[in-house]
Amino acid sequence: MKIKSDSRKIKEGDIFVALKTVNNDGHNYVLDAIEKGAKTVIVEKGLYDVNTIVVPDTREFIQEYLKKEYSYLIDELTLIGITGTNGKTTTCYFLYQALNKLGLKCSYIGTLGFYIGGEKIRDLSNTTPDILDLYELFLESYENDCKFVVMEVSSQALDMKRVQGIKFDYAVFTNLTKDHLDFHQTMENYALAKQKLFTNLKPNGKAIVNVDSQYDDYFLLSENNNITYGFSDSYYQITDYEIGKDYTIFNVQNITYKTKTFGKYNIYNMLVVIIILKDLGFDDKTIQKIVSEIETPSGRMDIINFGNNKIIIDYAHTPDAVSNIINAVKEMNSDNIYTIIGCGGNRDKSKRSLMGKIATNLSTKVIFTSDNPRNEDPLSIINDMVVNLVNSNYEIEINRKDAIKKGIQMLEKNDILLVLGKGHETYQIIGNEKIHFDDKEEVLNIIRR
């Protein structure tokens, strides 16, 4: 017998709890859960033909239940939560690799899925799963001898109390830039949502904060043990760096690190790894070696060589991320930079024109195309991106496959094609359907013909 919030997962004898989420209300699925075999339902309203427990707040009830039943196990895990607009996935994945390489078995929970000790276990429906699913992942990590869990913590998850009651050993803030304002409405609300992670530290927990962000004050709480980093004055200050075609070198606290990752923004991501490894007691030489071995995750600065050209696939889908990656590849000294880009439907519309402006300002040419249009008209989304553009160095190709083909055909010698927005995703969401589509797969199919 297990307690579950997803009626589709109910088995005979299970307990179903009706949780409210951003887009749904679990009370709509109580009858489905009973039909599948639930013998007890925990609800805020209603009376059913099975054992019914009515509580004022089902989410608070389940948090207390889980804490009572499993906190003694969860407390044995070192929990590392990373939040920010950009860099969550990459920073988590870097740290996950580093800990496993050092023999500290670690699981990862986030955009890329659920991983344990070097192996992908399964995909996840949310970057930060709901509380019951999260506890299942913690317990699975514990049962597989993990000592550490590194996880992405989204602003929506924090606002929806998915991690409420969970205490973290480390909370990391990467940055805060324009995104998700369809949900949060203002940047202050967005910052305050992320701030909640920093009020959930264990007594000896550490808050690791990027002070180069204009929003750093929201995360430097006086009651926390704060560790600062960045190019600005900070405890871990980056004092020098060099970016090559396939490496990055940077200096922090008079120690030089060389990585296989590319771009200034990845220095921030790697520095979080260094800070946590130092805090765990590893010596500088060990950390230098581990840092030199770390690989970027799938769909993040994923480089495919095509003759004398490069095709780069990246998840960049915010104004800041798009600016970061185009400026990073400019340092490769290519002749031309071509960019394929779109925006997701039913998401923050305020960032669309910004992304269009950044892409056309920084690229030789841009092809605007469909991303995950969901229930919006793809052309309407693109029109939002191109409105009031000063530059005319773009064309529109709604079909993403055709856009990629056109982009590849533009390449001559020493050029770069950026395919942005979807990264590791293997689907397009059109209407309410998920249709198989993988940017990297499409690129490889075209160049191998």
Largest CA distance in the chain: 71
Report which secondary-structure segment, H or E, holds 255. strand 255-259
With respect to residue 63, please indicate whether it lies within any of the assigned structural domains. no
Q: Are 289 and 98 in contact (CB under 8 A)?
A: no
Other residues' Cβ atoms within 10 Å of the Cβ of residue 402:
12
Position 359 in a domain: yes
**Per DSSP, what are the bridge partners of residue 83?**
173
434: domain CATH number is 3.90.190.20
The total domain count for the chain is 3
**Within this chain, do residues 102 and 240 fall inside the same structural domain, yes or no?**
yes
In a domain, 36, yes or no: yes
The verdict on 121 and 182 lying in the same domain is yes
Strands (E), 145-235: 148-152, 168-173, 201-210, 225-230
- Report the C-alpha gap between 89 and 52 in whole angstroms: 40
Residue 178 confidence (pLDDT): 64
Number of alpha helices (DSSP H) and beta strands (DSSP E) in the chain: 14, 23
Residue type, 203: P
Domain boundary, last residue among 233, 259, 293: 293
pLDDT of residue 182: 65
What is the model's pLDDT at position 180?
A: 62
Same domain as 335, residue 194: no
pLDDT of residue 184: 63
- pLDDT for 162 equals 85
Under a CB-based contact definition with an 8 Å cutoff, are residues 53 and 122 in contact?
Answer: no
**61 falls within a domain:** no
Residues ≥6 apart with Cβ < 8 Å to 133 = 5, 6, 124
Phi, psi (5° rounding) for residue 60?
A: -65, -40
N residues, the chain: 449
Q: Collect the ranges in the chain with pLDDT lower than 70.
A: 1, 22, 178-184
For residue 181, the model assigns a pLDDT of 60
* pTM listed for this prediction: 0.86
- Give residue 44's domain range: 3-56
Angle at 317 between CA 315 and CA 318, to 5 degrees: 135
Q: Measure the CA angle with vertex 322, ends 316 and 328; round to 5°.
A: 105
The pLDDT, as a whole number, for residue 179 is 67
Provide the pLDDT for residue 1: 62
- Give the residue carrying structure tokens 């939040």: 83
Pair (23, 91) in one structural domain: no
Count of C-beta atoms within a 10 Å radius of residue 404: 23
Query: Which two structure tokens, joined as six digits, stand for 380?
Result: 């309407």
442 belongs to a structural domain: yes
* 440 and 348 both lie in a single domain: yes
Last residue of a domain, one of 293, 310, 338: 293
The torsion angles phi and psi of 360, rounded to 5 degrees, stand at: -75, -30
pLDDT of residue 161: 84
